[in-house]
Amino acid sequence: MSDFFSLKFEYDYFVYINQTKLPLEEVYIKTDEYERIAVAIERLEVRGAPAIGITAAYGITVAMKNISDDYETQFYKAYERLKRTRPTAVNLFWALDVMKKVFESVDNYDGIYEKLKTSAIEIHNEDIKSCEAMGVNGVELFAKDSVILTHCNTGQLATGGSGTAFSVIKKGFETGKVKFVYSDETRPLLQGSRLTAFELSKSNIPFEMLPDSAAAFLMKQRKIDAVITGADRIAKNGDTANKIGTYNLAILCNFYKIPFYIAAPISTIDFSINSGEEIDIEMRGSEEMSYIRGVQVTKEEYSAYTPAFDVTPNELISAIITDKQVHKPPYNF
């Protein structure tokens, strides 16, 4: 059992671990201000598609705390602010729309805070169940004693439960299907070497960190049995947006005939878009390459190309693991 938590709603406050401080510091922040929650999402203090959705739901909830009039103005102000935080992860918009339907379904606003809180907690609890289901569904794809490579962070820090791809890895380790994990460092913000390494260590799963640029050499040595990552948005045809560098791995897996898997809840599938061409890719600031944890490593005036995500075409994906089932190509959600 992990001795930390990523986020929770307790005594009418949202409490979360500040992921930008990990793994060197475990700092928890407590707030009941939706603006602070919006900033937390933007700064990646909270990150991971399912976790962003849950956090946004709690953000809407606290926005209606202690409100006595002008409910609509306050609700839609918070709704629009949270909607602007990050453009790529579909879970954010899904969760906000769930909360919006609850708000718009009432005849009067008596007790609206409690109604919204109940809905946010339900979203959180459903994600806990979803993570467990993905672990059970996905582990069947692994052979005994597999060595797995993963990218970015897909565990407890990225969700409300045990994770997406990380849940599959953890279940695999518990059942003898996974014996070792390589965690891509995941440049430029190092979610793999900071966050996934932190969670692998907490779970006592044997692992090594891996420079992103070393993946091809490792695969050439036939040291990887499968690659599994999460996703921030999946199109109806199975094209998948995930942390930048995921597409590289999918191409390498195709070349070396290694299975490449995606694990994500049904809520990550955007049924309104037909392909990855329609996914809005978030661009980050050049300072994320100029500085590492506040330490300047190159000149600020150097320009940088900094997409937060890339899109992996469906033909490179061996299977998409959801909380409902394992989907095999051809994909048609």
Of 127, 212, 225, 232, catalytic: 232
Asked if CATH classification 1.20.120.420 holds for the domain at 7-131, the reply, yes or no, is yes
SS3 33: coil
Domain ranges for the chain, please list them: 7-131, 136-327
What local confidence, expressed as pLDDT, does residue 3 receive?
79
**pTM, two decimal places:** 0.94
Continuous segment of H or E residues that includes residue 30: strand 28-31
CB 48 within 8 A of CB 16: no
Provide DSSP, 243-264. ETTHHHHHHHHHHHT--EEEE-
232 in active site: yes
CB 306 within 8 A of CB 289: yes
State pLDDT tens for residues 247-256: 999 999 999 9
State pLDDT tens for residues 57-83: 999 999 999 888 899 999 999 999 999
CB 31 within 8 A of CB 14: yes
What local confidence, expressed as pLDDT, does residue 1 receive?
43
What local confidence, expressed as pLDDT, does residue 202 receive?
96
CATH T-level topology, domain 136-327: Rossmann fold (3.40.50)
Low-confidence spans in the chain with pLDDT less than 50: 1
CB 85 within 8 A of CB 49: no
CA-nearest of 202, 207, 135, 206 to 175 is: 135
What local confidence, expressed as pLDDT, does residue 59 receive?
98
What local confidence, expressed as pLDDT, does residue 2 receive?
59
Rg (CA), the chain: 19
